Structure 1
Amino acid sequence: MLVSLGLLSTMAVVLLAPAVPAMMEAFAGVHGAQQLVVFSLTCPALCVALLSPFAGMIIDRIGRRKLLIGSLIAYPVFGTAPLYLSNLTDIIISRLGVGVAETVLMSASITMLGDFFTDLEREKFLAMNTGIASLSATAFFAIGGALASHNWRMPYAVYALAVVFLLAVLAFTWEPERHHSRRELDEAVMAAGPFPFFRLLAICVVTIAGGIVFMLPQIEIGVISAAHGFKSPATAGMIGAIGSVAMPVGAFTFNQLRKRNVKVQSLVVLAFVLGGAGLITMAAMSTLPLLTLGMIIHEFGCGFMLTGLMTWVLGLLTYEYRGKGTGAYFSSFFIAQPISGFLFGVVQRALGGSPLTAFYAFGGSAILLAVLLAIIQGMVSADRSKAVNTI
């Protein structure tokens, strides 16, 4: 059930994307309406990027379940508000409320998965989380389009779905084992040792890079398709939809390889190789089937990427620090969304204005990063082996 909460974070943007043109038309008389409507769509992700570290700290102090319940109460209240709000500013405020609720919801639910399950069982559920989120994106885009064709407000009604998850959380979950007094919590933190700040920072840097690799085709699929001569939005949507099916396959494959004791870090390296190869293929291949193949390769690698990075973070931290680590992960991943769009524009201009050349550059950079990570991983493994032999 905790795994399926990924549906709510997915629909925050995907569900509403088809309604954007009609919403812009409805508020055409408002100064800066286009920018404000787009901001209303993306501001929940900005909240996740900025607030997740703080949410993680609060989760570690107060507890997971009660904050998850609170977020599931707030989510449909703020999410459905645009059904009756007539002022664009009020709608943006409600969307910021969605962002705060989503921040707590995502951090608390993934932290609870880390608390309840360990090792391969935990990784299985994280892979399921990635798969469900990916497949639901395609479904929500179709649902959002169907509802928006009647009225731009209608997609917001789907936020009421959170009530079902609220009832399920109340009925089927409990607070993970925790320390009941401030003194017990402080003693547990001391026993757990110092917070692994630098190791977590390294994972967060890799997560930002992985988020950029992941987000680039999601944002620029229309641009790269048009550069190859396929200018129809329907064609770009078809490429994205077909490619998205490969992500849960990648997550499942990740889980199967972990059962064979392949290291998480090695699979993250492979994810960057596949992601980079997918970007290069999309830039190089001018036929529709091969362009789609590039998207499939990329999304397959991202199935490894998302599952691997979450597994890496949760495996690093004990109960006392797991909320902080989860918050840091989500902050790093979501900050990649605005960074990726900005970087793409900068790189494209620097390389002469061609989106194809920019995709080559990002794909090559992803593969170079994979090589660097593999070298660092080898050095760390060698140092650990020496330490063991010395003992």
Structure 2
Amino acid sequence: MLSLLRDRRAVALLMAATLTILSNQIISPSLPGIGEHFAASPNAELLSRLLVTAPSLLVAVFAPFAGMMADRFGRKRQLLIGIALFAIAGSGGLWLPTLPLILASRLVLGLGVALIMTAQTALIGDYFHGEQRGRFMGVQIAATNFSGFIFLLIAGVLAGMSPFAPFVIYLIGLAYLPFLWLSLTEPPRGEAQERAHPEEAGERGWVLLLCVVILLAGLNFVAFYMLPTQMPFYLTTLGHDEPAAAAKLVAGVTLFGGLSSLAYGRVRARLGRALTPTLGFALFAAGFAIFGIAPSYGVVLAGGVLLGLAAGLVWPTFLSIALDVVPAHRRGLASGAVTTSVFLGQFVSPLVSQPLIDTFGFAGTFEAMAVLLAAMAVLVLLTFRERGPALAAA
């Protein structure tokens, strides 16, 4: 880990990664306050929930194109443009007067996130190889979760002052830009990259395996994003309607996710590519099962700990497998496809969960998610075994 942090490129990519957790979750503690402020606006209850997941729609639509742009035109410039757009659009809640306009700014934020995530992921594949790449993915998830823990605690405090105050946190992207511009370089791509690292020509059956990764990533985030979109409202049923309660829960999940992801490289080295995420999905299922029977806030926090531990084992898997198995000249496309799946899952999460909650209640919906995640653990065990190299690059 320390050797990675001595590399300015690695530090710059970790800084860029910390922005992604801000794209959605950072305003979660503000949702009840925003909904109350705009109560007279048509469909305020639904629109306030969509503020969290609206960026995901633009990411889901645009990420494949952003990935192809990164493959064709280069990664560094795209990353810097994405961060600038992220800061400007993300802070829109500070200065836009109506709920529909704030929602529109969240869509533009999603465009910036698509540019950031696809370029940043492709740069990871270009800069790091083999075991070093796996270590970096674990460190990246840790950095994302630890920064999210800090930012979410700050957001909870700011939301107690004003539901719009947390939007100021997005401006941190502007502070990152000078260091990233000085530290990142545009690497060789495509055939030149594959000649330098023959093992980067792709793994046999990579298209099918990538499709499984895309499916699992999307379903996982449909379930996980019930945390920022529904838990503030669920906690009110347990007598905890203060914004800090939801902020502490989400922050706790990110904290334990960071601790778990620090061990990802060592756990994967011992358990392998299949058993590591299988364990993670099993922990996800257990966490949601606990939510379904939780009688108190303390038990909900215990379920959140399991979700955090699960995230640290599962989330590095999605992009690390995608980068491991695809040819070097397909990394932008692969990162765009996985990013689309993740953010599409985030966007549709409240659209899926709200009807379920209206019909079966919070407890029944959480138990259904537990069953889905347990089935995903079985699918991972069957499909994520190690494979040989491809006979030819696709």
For the residue of structure 2 that corresponds to 1:176, the secondary structure is coil
Q: Does the 8 A contact of 2:53 with 2:346 survive in 1?
A: no
Cα distance between partner residues in 2 of 1:12 and 1:354: 28
**CA displacement at 1:60 relative to structure 2:** 0.6
**Equivalent residue for 2:105?**
94
Q: Does 1:270 align with 2:273?
A: no
Q: AA paired with 1:314?
A: L
**CA displacement at 1:301 relative to structure 2:** 1.0
Indicate the percent of aligned positions where both proteins have the same amino acid: 22
Q: Does the 8 A contact of 1:111 with 1:323 survive in 2?
A: yes
**CA displacement at 1:90 relative to structure 2:** 4.3
Q: Alignment partner for residue 243 of structure 1, among 244, 247, 253?
A: 253
**Equivalent residue for 1:281?**
290
Q: Does the 8 A contact of 1:213 with 1:275 survive in 2?
A: no
Q: Does 1:69 align with 2:61?
A: no
**CA displacement at 1:224 relative to structure 2:** 5.1
TM-score (norm 2): 0.82
Q: Does 1:325 align with 2:312?
A: no
User: 1:112-132 CA deviation, whole Å, 9 max, x = no partner?
Assistant: 112101122212222122122
Q: Alignment partner for residue 357 of structure 1, among 359, 364, 378?
A: 364
**Equivalent residue for 2:377?**
370
Q: Does the 8 A contact of 1:134 with 1:244 survive in 2?
A: yes
Structure 1: where are the runs of 5+ without partners? Answer: 385-391
**CA displacement at 1:17 relative to structure 2:** 3.3
Structure number with greater Rg is 1
TM-score (norm 1): 0.82
Q: Does the 8 A contact of 2:146 with 2:255 survive in 1?
A: yes
**Equivalent residue for 2:225?**
215
Q: Does the 8 A contact of 2:28 with 2:229 survive in 1?
A: no
Change (3 A) 1:304 1:213: farther
Q: AA paired with 2:105?
A: S
Change (3 A) 1:80 1:231: closer
Cα distance between partner residues in 2 of 1:219 and 1:235: 14
**CA displacement at 1:334 relative to structure 2:** 1.3
User: 1:148-172 CA deviation, whole Å, 9 max, x = no partner?
Assistant: 4555554333332212221011111
**CA displacement at 1:102 relative to structure 2:** 1.3
**CA displacement at 1:266 relative to structure 2:** 2.0
Structure 2: where are the runs of 5+ without partners? Answer: 1-11, 389-394
**CA displacement at 1:333 relative to structure 2:** 1.0
Q: Does the 8 A contact of 2:225 with 2:346 survive in 1?
A: yes
Q: AA paired with 1:172?
A: S
Note the aligned Cα RMSD (angstroms): 3.2
Cα distance between partner residues in 1 of 2:256 and 2:309: 5
Cα distance between partner residues in 2 of 1:184 and 1:252: 32
Q: AA paired with 1:243?
A: V
Cα distance between partner residues in 2 of 1:258 and 1:112: 22
Change (3 A) 1:364 1:97: closer
Change (3 A) 1:15 1:347: closer
Change (3 A) 1:89 1:242: closer
Q: Which is further off, 44-53 or 141-150?
A: 141-150
**CA displacement at 1:356 relative to structure 2:** 1.9
User: 1:257-293 CA deviation, whole Å, 9 max, x = no partner?
Assistant: 2344x32222111111111122223323535544422
**Equivalent residue for 1:160?**
171
Q: Does 1:206 align with 2:213?
A: no
Q: Does the 8 A contact of 1:83 with 1:154 survive in 2?
A: yes
